[in-house]
Amino acid sequence: MTDLLPVDGYLVEQLPDVWFGVVMFALAMYIVLDGFDFGIGMLYATREDEADRETLLAAFGPIWDANEVWLIAFGTMLLAAFPRAYSRLLADNYLLVLGFVLALLFRGVAPELREQREDEEWQWTCDVSFVVGSTLAPLLFGVLAGRWVFDAATLSIPALLTGVGLVTVSIATGAAFLAAKTDPALAAEMRDYGIVATLAYLGGLVALLVTVVMTDAGRVAETVLSAPAATIAGLSIAAGVGGIVLARRGRYRQWLASALALPGLLSVLVALLLYPNIYPPTGLTVREAVVSPLALNLVTVLGLPVLLLVVWYFKFLYTVFSGPVTGDSYSG
Amino acid sequence: MPTTAFLSADPGWMAFLSPEIASRAQFGWTITVHIIFAALSVGLAPFIIYFTWKGVSTDDERFSKLRSFWTNVFAVGFVMGTVTGIPMSFQFGTNFPRFSAVAGELIGGPLAFEAKMAFFLEAIFLGVLLFGRERVSDRTYVLSSVLVGVGAWLSGFWILVVNAWMQTPRGYEMVTRNGMEIATLTDPVAAFFTPRLPWMYVHMINASVISVALLVGGVSAYLVWKKPSSKAWTTALKIAVLILLVSAPLQAIHGDAYGRHVADTQPQKFAAMEAHYETGRADLHLVAVPTRPSALTDPRAENLFTVSLPGMGSFLASGGDPNAEVLGLNEYEENPPVALVFWSFRIMVGLGFLFIGLALWGGSLIYRGTLAENSRFLKAMMVASPLGYAALLTGWYVTEIGRQPWVIQGVLRTNDAISRSLTSFQATATLIGFVLIYVGLIAVALLVLRWMVLDELRELSVIETSRDTDRDPVPQVGDDD
Assembly ipTM: 0.90
Q: Smallest Cβ distance to B471: which of A118, A303, A323?
A: A118
| Maximum pairwise Cα distance, chain A | 64
Contacts of A80 in chain B (CB under 8 A): 104, 108-109, 111-112
- Give me chain B's average pLDDT, please: 89
Q: Which of residues 163-202 of A touch B (CB under 8 A)?
A: 182-183
Is A36 in the B-facing interface, judged by CB distances under 8 Å? Answer: no
| pLDDT < 70 positions in chain A | 1-2, 326-332
- Local confidence band at B285 (pLDDT 50, 70, 90 cut-offs): confident
Predicted confidence (pLDDT) at residue B318 exceeds the cutoff of 50: yes
List the single best residue of A178, A299, A300, A304 to mutate versus B (max B Cβ within 10 A): A299
State the Cα–Cα distance between residues A171 and A42, nearest whole angstrom. 7
- Mean pLDDT on B294-298: 84
B448–A79 C-beta distance less than 8 A? no
Is A6 in the B-facing interface, judged by CB distances under 8 Å? Answer: no
Q: Which of residues 107-166 of A touch B (CB under 8 A)?
A: 108-109, 112-113, 116-119
Contact by Cβ (8 Å): A265, A235: yes
Q: Smallest Cβ distance to B474: which of A51, A81, A95?
A: A51
Give the nearest chain A residue to B80 (CA atoms): A109
A1–B131 C-beta distance less than 8 A? no
Q: Smallest Cβ distance to A284: which of B113, B178, B421?
A: B178
Is A66 in the B-facing interface, judged by CB distances under 8 Å? Answer: yes
pLDDT digit string (tens) for A84-107?
999 999 999 999 999 999 999 999
Nearest by Cα to B372 from B246, B241, B463 = B241
State the Cα–Cα distance between residues B254 and B199, nearest whole angstrom. 8
Report the pLDDT value the prediction gives residue B307, as an integer from 0 to 100.
84
| Maximum pairwise Cα distance, chain B | 77
CA B199 to chain centre: 15
- Local confidence band at B466 (pLDDT 50, 70, 90 cut-offs): low
Contact by Cβ (8 Å): B128, B141: yes
pLDDT digit string (tens) for B18-27?
888 999 999 9
Tell me the Cα Rg of chain A. 20
Contact by Cβ (8 Å): A112, B76: yes
Is A275 in the B-facing interface, judged by CB distances under 8 Å? Answer: no
Phi, psi torsion values for B288, nearest 5 degrees: -135, 130
Closest Cα of chain B to A27: distance in Å? 14
State the Cα–Cα distance between residues A16 and A291, nearest whole angstrom. 9
Contact by Cβ (8 Å): B72, B3: no
**Contacts with A91 (C-beta within 8 Å, 6 or more apart), sequence order:** B93, B94, B97, B419, B421, B422
- Local confidence band at B478 (pLDDT 50, 70, 90 cut-offs): very low
B476–A326 C-beta distance less than 8 A? yes
Is A293 in the B-facing interface, judged by CB distances under 8 Å? Answer: no
Sort residue A296 into left (φ over 0), alpha (ψ -120 to 50) or beta. Answer: alpha
Closest Cα of chain A to B107: distance in Å? 7
Contacts of B70 in chain A (CB under 8 A): none
Contact by Cβ (8 Å): A287, B446: no
Q: Smallest Cβ distance to A89: which of B71, B76, B93?
A: B93
A326–B477 C-beta distance less than 8 A? yes
Predicted confidence (pLDDT) at residue B474 exceeds the cutoff of 80: no
Of residues A12 and B3, more confidently modeled? A12
Q: What percent of chain B has pLDDT over 90?
A: 64
Q: What's this model's pTM, rounded to 2 decimal places?
A: 0.90
Closest Cα of chain B to A254: distance in Å? 16
pLDDT digit string (tens) for B320-344?
788 888 889 999 999 999 999 999 9
Report the pLDDT value the prediction gives residue B299, as an integer from 0 to 100.
86
Q: Which of residues 197-256 of A touch B (CB under 8 A)?
A: none
Contacts of A105 in chain B (CB under 8 A): 83-84, 86-87, 437, 441
Is A2 in the B-facing interface, judged by CB distances under 8 Å? Answer: yes
Predicted confidence (pLDDT) at residue B284 exceeds the cutoff of 90: no
- Mean pLDDT on B295-304: 82
Lowest-confidence pick of B98-102, B291-295, B442-446: B291-295
A104–B83 C-beta distance less than 8 A? yes
Report the pLDDT value the prediction gives residue B162, as an integer from 0 to 100.
95
A81–B478 C-beta distance less than 8 A? no
A108–B112 C-beta distance less than 8 A? no
**Contacts with A165 (C-beta within 8 Å, 6 or more apart), sequence order:** A142, A201, A204, A205, A208, A266
Report the pLDDT value the prediction gives residue A1, as an integer from 0 to 100.
53
Q: Are strands B304-309 and B284-290 parallel, antiparallel or unpaired?
A: antiparallel
State the Cα–Cα distance between residues A291 and B186, nearest whole angstrom. 12
Report the pLDDT value the prediction gives residue B269, as an integer from 0 to 100.
94
Report the pLDDT value the prediction gives residue B472, as an integer from 0 to 100.
47
Geometric angle at alpha carbon B38, from A93 and A122, rounded to 5°: 80
Report the pLDDT value the prediction gives residue B243, as an integer from 0 to 100.
97
Q: Smallest Cβ distance to A323: which of B79, B86, B478?
A: B478
Is A97 in the B-facing interface, judged by CB distances under 8 Å? Answer: yes
pLDDT digit string (tens) for B228-271?
999 999 999 999 999 999 999 999 999 988 988 998 899 999 99
Of residues B67 and B179, more confidently modeled? B67
- Mean pLDDT on B306-320: 82
Report the pLDDT value the prediction gives residue B10, as an integer from 0 to 100.
46
Contacts of A327 in chain B (CB under 8 A): 474-476
State the Cα–Cα distance between residues B34 and A72, nearest whole angstrom. 15
Q: Smallest Cβ distance to B89: which of A2, A72, A94?
A: A72
Predicted confidence (pLDDT) at residue B480 exceeds the cutoff of 50: no
